């Protein structure tokens, strides 16, 4: 099935806003072993966040070491998330000058995120007092709630648009191959299966046309200068609808194959 990017959603856990959506978007195309690793990382992150969150509700620890470890766990997984998204951005090819400029700007923004996490990690190793570590953790939370979440969301949104475009193109390529052999295929089908087969072709054509149109609109909005939240939500929704249509077309391809095999 074509690659699917989940719509970015924010989660209200200290130091973890926006982490889970990115995490599971990566897990969708991972192998079972890789998915198990990601699940383990998420479990480790959750345990660390539980400890950090306890501070917020008044359960002040007396030992800085567990808190430092918890914060560094969050930083480590954040750094891996930045690395993964940066690699996906860098892998995008065949871009126009305008698209490349936006991609490069996003990569620079992600590099700045990484520099910040590195600085916070250094602070947590240099500071041994519990009050200092609590202060660092709170500031990191505020940064994660704002700059980090917004930057990662923009990067993943860029990836989603262009990877969905690839999915649409792949679907059209498969459909073209089927259409090219339509005459040959119909000659092998009993009369009562020919009409359903042609109906499936027409249905897939319509779905892929709508999918391409939606993704083109999403890309146009992505490349516009507006930064309004409603525009970002519109992009996410258009990509979601476009991807659903591509998935529907692939279901049609499977149905065609079943008709031929009967």
* The pLDDT of residue 187 is above 50: yes
Query: pLDDT band at 207, cuts 50/70/90?
Result: very high
What's the average model confidence in pLDDT over 179-206? 83
pLDDT in tens, 58-97: 555 556 677 777 788 888 888 988 999 999 999 999 999 9
What is the overall mean pLDDT for the chain? 77
pLDDT of residue 62: 59
Q: What is the mean pLDDT of residues 18-44?
A: 41
Higher pLDDT pick, 213 / 227: 213
pLDDT category at 155 given cuts 50, 70, 90 is very high
pLDDT beyond 90 at 181: no
Evaluate whether 58 touches 189 at the Cβ level (below 8 Å).
Answer: no
Backbone angles phi, psi at 235, to 5 degrees: -60, -50
| Tokens encoding 22 | 């990115």
Q: List, for residues 142-151, the tens digit of each pLDDT value.
A: 888 789 989 9
DSSP 181-236: THHHHHHHS-HHHHHHHHHHHHHHHHHHHHHHHHHHHHHHHHHSS---HHHHHHHH
CA distance 215 to 213: 6
User: What is the CB neighbour count within 10 angstroms for residue 63?
Assistant: 9
Q: Where are the domains of the chain?
A: 19-164, 166-261
pLDDT tens, residue by residue, 215-253: 999 999 999 866 665 677 899 999 999 999 999 999 999
Most confident of 16-30, 116-130, 165-179: 165-179
Predicted confidence (pLDDT) at residue 201 exceeds the cutoff of 90: yes
Q: Is the pLDDT of residue 24 over 80?
A: no
Q: What is the pLDDT of residue 76?
A: 86
Identify the pLDDT of residue 185: 77
- Report how far residue 143's alpha carbon sits from residue 160's, in angstroms, rounded to the nearest whole number: 24
| 96-136 pLDDT tens trace | 999 999 999 999 999 999 999 999 888 777 666 777 777 88
Taking alpha carbons only, the member of 94, 110, 44, 96 closest to residue 73 is 44
Is 0.85 surpassed by the pTM of this model? no
- pLDDT score at 107: 97
Residues of the chain with pLDDT > 90: what percent?
43
């Amino acid at each position: 099935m074509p690659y699917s990017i989940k719509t970015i959603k924010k989660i209200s856990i200290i130091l973890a806003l926006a982490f889970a959506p990115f995490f599971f978007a990566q897990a969708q195309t991972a192998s079972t072993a890789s998915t198990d690793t990601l699940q383990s990382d998420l479990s480790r992150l959750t345990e660390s966040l539980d400890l950090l969150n306890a501070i917020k509700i008044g359960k002040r620890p007396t030992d800085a070491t567990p808190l430092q470890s918890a914060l560094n766990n969050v930083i480590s997984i954040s750094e891996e998330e930045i690395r993964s998204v940066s690699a996906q951005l860098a892998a995008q090819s065949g871009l126009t000058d305008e698209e490349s400029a936006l991609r490069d700007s996003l990569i620079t923004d992600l590099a700045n995120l990484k520099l910040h996490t590195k600085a916070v990690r250094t602070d947590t190793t240099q500071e041994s007092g519990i009050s200092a570590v609590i202060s660092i953790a709170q500031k990191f939370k505020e940064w994660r709630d704002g700059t980090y979440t917004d930057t990662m969301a923009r990067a993943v949104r860029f990836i989603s648009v262009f990877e969905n475009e690839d999915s649409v193109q792949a679907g059209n390529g498969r459909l073209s191959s089927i259409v090219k052999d339509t005459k040959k295929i119909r000659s092998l089908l009993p009369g009562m299966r020919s009409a359903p087969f042609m109906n499936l072709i027409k249905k897939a054509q319509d779905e892929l046309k709508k999918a391409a149109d939606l993704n083109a609109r999403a890309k146009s909005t992505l490349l516009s200068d507006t930064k309004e939240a409603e525009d970002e939500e519109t992009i996410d929704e258009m990509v979601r609808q476009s991807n659903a249509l591509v998935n529907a077309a692939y279901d049609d391809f499977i149905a065609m194959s079943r008709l031929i095999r009967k």
